[in-house]
Amino acid sequence: MDMKRSYYEDIELFKSGTILFWSIIFLLALFTFPLYTSDYSIYLMSLIMVYVIVSVGLNILVGSTGQISLGHAGFFAIGAYATVLLMTHLQVPFFVAIIAAAFIAAFFGFILGLPALRLEGPYLTIATLAFGLAIMHVIGHTEIFGGRQGLIAPELDLGIKQLGLNFVISTVTQKYYLVLGFTIVMVLFAINILKTKPGRAFVAIRDSDIAAEVIGINLTIYKTLSFAVSAFYAGIAGGLFAFVLGFFDPFTFNLILSIIFIVMIVVGGLGSVMGSISGAALITYLMYDLFKNVDEAPFIGPLFLSFSERWMTITGMDNFNYIALGLVMIGIMLFEPLGLFGAWIRIKKYWKTWPF
């Protein structure tokens, strides 16, 4: 679309003044968000950003490298459990704990990347699926992980206890800023990684791994690296999730969650960072918020309810949530296979010559 005149133009973070301007506006909106909303919206926004981190990472693996993983809930769980356990049992400071947890997740990602060297397509998917399920059950059976009962996250102290530096944060707003900070860093990191050598190697592997190998890309390194990076993202997100929620049990990280992660990036747009962000935001909103307050709305509420009672199960409005979620997915697959990001490109193209 845009004419690139040099390599440096291609790797610029902000391609034009307009993009820079709107990015700053967007960031300002995010930074001031807690000023004009309720605790609930801040919580939901924190949750969205946690999922944004996961899906940005998952998109590096699925969208850019072309390896499908149905086990990302497993990495997410490893991040959450490792962060909390490091903090409660070894008294590790939060920032160290969450990074260590992410590296542990990355290590598991590396391990899971090894079969990816030999397996392809559905076989790889099954291997990752088994990993996700196994993690859930191993955690559920081990006493130190809290068993089935789950774990309660400790007090979130951003300082270093051993040095007497305490900075305890407890309100949902403070946690929001913590998550926001992590999200910005992780998203910038993802944009950068895709524009450097590893990113280009990932894309080459996706397009044809034989061709990639021929031009000198080491498949062993880059396939496992892609898994590790992706798992690292899920680990960071898991650590944040633990504190946003405050409590988690192994079944939170079930197969459905892995599938939801995939749905997020497919709906958002495979292989694009902005796509992962918009997909995660849309799907989380649909799952957590849409239709939740419709029951109480005048006219529409009773209408939907009576329709549900007549034609669907007795549970009422919640039937529609699934339907809406499903329709959005089908609609996007049918009309916009590139996802929300594809739609965005189309809109941009259409308005390019405006007002003529």
Partner 1 sequence: MRLNKVILVMFVVFCAVFLMSFAGWAQKAGFDDKEIRIGQWGPQTGPAAPWGAVARGTRVIFDLVNEEGGIHGRKIRYFIRDDQYNPSQTMAAVRDLVDRQGVFAFVGGVGTAPGLAVRDYLRQKKIIWTSVCTGAKGFYDPFNPYLWGVWVLYEDDGSIIAKFLVEKKKFKKIAYLYQNDDWGADAMVGIKKRLKTYGMDLVAAVPVEPIERDLSSQVARLKASGAEAVIGMVAPTQAAIALRTAVSVGFHPQWIHSYNLTDYVLMNMITDGLWAKEGVMTSAFTEDIFNYNIPIVKKYADAAKRLYPQERWGIFFAAGIVVAEPLVEALKRTGRNLSTEAVANQLNNLTFQGMGPKIKWTATNHRPPRELRIWQCGPKGEVIVVQDWTVNELPLELDKKK
Residues that bind partner 1 (CB under 8 A): 20, 24, 27-28, 31-32, 34-35, 37-41, 43-44, 47, 140-141, 147-150, 152, 171, 173-174, 177, 241, 245-249, 251-252, 287-289, 292-293, 295-296, 309, 314-319, 321-322
Residue 31 C-beta: closest distance to partner 1, Å: 5
Vertex 265 angle, CA 262 and 270, to 5°: 115
Residue 17 C-beta: closest distance to partner 1, Å: 10
Residue 79 C-beta: closest distance to partner 1, Å: 15
Structure tokens at 259: 């599938």
Mapped onto helix, strand or coil, the DSSP state of residue 169 is strand
Nearer to partner 1, 88 or 174 (CB): 174
* Whole-number Cα distances in Å, 332 to 67, 74, 80, 335: 21, 27, 32, 5
Residue 24 C-beta: closest distance to partner 1, Å: 6
In our burial notation (b when 16+ CB lie closer than 10 A, e otherwise), range 175-214 reads bbbbbbebbeebbeebeebbeeebbebbbbbbeebeebee
Nearest-Å Rg of the Cα atoms of the chain is 21
User: What residues contact residue 194 under an 8 Å CB cut-off, 6+ apart?
Assistant: 60, 64, 202, 203, 273
Residue 252 C-beta: closest distance to partner 1, Å: 6
Nearer to partner 1, 14 or 123 (CB): 14
Nearer to partner 1, 204 or 287 (CB): 287
Residue 297 C-beta: closest distance to partner 1, Å: 12
Residue 298 C-beta: closest distance to partner 1, Å: 13
Nearer to partner 1, 38 or 196 (CB): 38
Nearer to partner 1, 111 or 172 (CB): 172
Residue 231 C-beta: closest distance to partner 1, Å: 20
Nearer to partner 1, 22 or 123 (CB): 22
Closest listed residue to residue 80, CA positions, set 321, 251, 304: 251
Nearer to partner 1, 123 or 247 (CB): 247
Task: Please answer whether residues 211 and 77 qualify as being in contact, where contact means their C-beta atoms are separated by less than 8 angstroms.
Answer: no
Burial grade of 62 (CB within 10 A; 0-12, 13-18, 19 or more)? buried
Structure tokens at 227: 């898994």
* DSSP β-bridge partners for residue 152: 247
Closest listed residue to residue 242, CA positions, set 106, 74, 47, 99: 47
Nearer to partner 1, 122 or 181 (CB): 181
Which residues in the chain belong to E strands, given as ranges?
A: 151-152, 156-157, 168-169, 247-248
Nearer to partner 1, 213 or 249 (CB): 249
Residue 310 C-beta: closest distance to partner 1, Å: 10
Distance, CA of 261 to chain centre: 7
Task: Please answer whether residues 39 and 201 qualify as being in contact, where contact means their C-beta atoms are separated by less than 8 angstroms.
Answer: no
Residues composing the chain: 356
